[in-house]
């Protein structure tokens, strides 16, 4: 298989049990480079467990997970930047007492590999890395249209803007694979539309592959290239948004919700 054919994310037969609960059972998913893939399902379906496996917070009991052809077996969360993976969380994970630009620089520093001596001495190459990091942070701030709040304390911003800051920090890690965990949860319609636009721009302008957990079916159906549906830890459907929306098992899992046909 040539490099151009290598999936950005390949999950094969992933399973995870917590005590007597089978959180995931033989779940497989292949996401091509540059795709936007949504993972949907009712609460408790195993979506976040799947993300936690890809994020190396948990290890699968069986199965394999590869990012751009490289196995994540035995890796820890701090290895993810080396694999080009970044993630946002369902619950806000920002530094609320720091400024917008400081939050984004936290993500940028995962790409500055200075040893303690070099950092303490602030050697020329470390200074140059810091300058580049700040330039990239400013570019991300402009990209996400949060220039007006650059120096604002994040805790004083609206929920929607705080989520943008968290997205900016993930982008600062220069990911090739971006995991978004319920990015628009709790947002109003305008904020949701803004995030949808940013996700499309992240794919188109930055070439980033996006996998997102989402309950808002409007954004799922509008911007996804593929959708996988989990229910009780198992994949019950996968395909294009149109194919998944018409799958009887999916409709049943959502108790006949008509939102899927939107």
Q: What tens digit of pLDDT does each residue of 128-183 get?
A: 666 777 889 999 999 999 999 999 999 999 999 999 999 999 999 999 999 999 99
Using CA atoms, how far apart are residues 204 and 189, in angstroms rounded to an integer?
23
Contacts of 140 (CB under 8 A, 6+ apart): 104, 168, 171, 172
State pLDDT tens for residues 56-85.
Answer: 999 999 999 999 999 999 999 999 999 999
> What per-residue confidence (pLDDT) applies to 118?
46
Whole-number Å distance between alpha carbons of 100 and 157 = 10
Compute CA distances 255 → 2, 23, 173, whole Å: 43, 21, 39
Residue 94 main-chain phi, psi, to 5 deg: -105, 165
Kindly indicate the confidence band of residue 256, based on its pLDDT and cuts at 50, 70 and 90.
Answer: low
pLDDT of residue 115: 46
* pLDDT score of 227: 97
Mean of pLDDT over the chain: 88
Q: Is the torsion defined by CA of 46, 47, 49, 50 positive or negative?
A: positive
Higher pLDDT, 6 or 134: 6
pLDDT of residue 114: 47
Q: Is 90 exceeded by the pLDDT of residue 251?
A: no
Question: Alpha carbon of 176 to those of 29, 97, 98, 121: distances in Å?
Answer: 17, 29, 27, 32
Q: Are 54 and 48 in contact (CB under 8 A)?
A: no
Query: For residues 14 and 60, is the Cβ–Cβ distance under 8 A?
Result: yes
Mean pLDDT of 116-131: 55
Domain extents for the chain? 1-84+175-262, 95-173
pLDDT at 1: 39
Q: What is the pTM of this model?
A: 0.87
pLDDT in tens, 188-211: 999 999 999 999 999 999 999 999
Predicted local distance difference test score (pLDDT) of residue 220 = 94
CA–CA distance from 151 to each of 100, 147, 165, 255 (Å)? 6, 9, 12, 46
pLDDT tens for 90-112 read: 877 788 899 999 999 988 766 55
The number of residues making up the chain comes to: 262
- Return the DSSP state at 6: -
CATH number of 1-84+175-262: 3.40.50.300
Tokens of 130: 């810091």
Sign of CA dihedral 198, 204, 206, 211: positive
As a whole number of angstroms, the distance between CA 164 and CA 255 comes to 32
């Amino acid at each position: 298989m040539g490099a151009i054919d290598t999936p950005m994310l390949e999950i094969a037969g992933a399973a995870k049990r917590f005590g007597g609960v089978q959180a995931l059972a033989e779940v497989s998913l292949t996401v091509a480079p540059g795709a936007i893939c949504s993972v949907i399902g009712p609460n408790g379906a195993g979506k976040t467990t799947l993300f936690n496996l890809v994020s190396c917070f948990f290890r699968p009991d069986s199965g394999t997970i590869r990012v751009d052809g490289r196995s994540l077996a035995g890796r820890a969360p701090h290895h993810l930047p080396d694999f080009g993976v970044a993630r946002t969380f369902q619950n806000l994970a920002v530094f609320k007492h720091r400024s917008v630009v400081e939050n984004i620089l936290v993500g940028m520093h995962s790409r500055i590999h200075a040893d303690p001596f070099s950092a303490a001495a602030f050697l020329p190459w470390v200074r140059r890395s810091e300058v580049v990091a700040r330039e990239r942070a400013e570019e991300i701030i402009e990209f996400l249209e949060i220039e007006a709040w650059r120096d604002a304390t994040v805790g004083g911003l609206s929920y929607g803007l705080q989520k943008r800051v968290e997205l900016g920090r993930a982008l600062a890690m220069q990911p090739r694979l971006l995991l978004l965990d319920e990015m628009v949860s709790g947002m109003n319609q305008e904020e949701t539309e803004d995030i949808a636009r940013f996700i499309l721009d992240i794919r188109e302008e930055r070439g980033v592959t996006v996998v997102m957990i989402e309950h808002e079916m409007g954004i799922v159906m509008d911007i996804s290239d593929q959708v996988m549906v989990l229910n009780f830890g198992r994949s019950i459907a996968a395909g294009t948004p149109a194919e998944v929306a018409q799958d009887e098992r999916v409709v049943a899992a959502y108790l006949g919700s008509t939102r899927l046909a939107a």
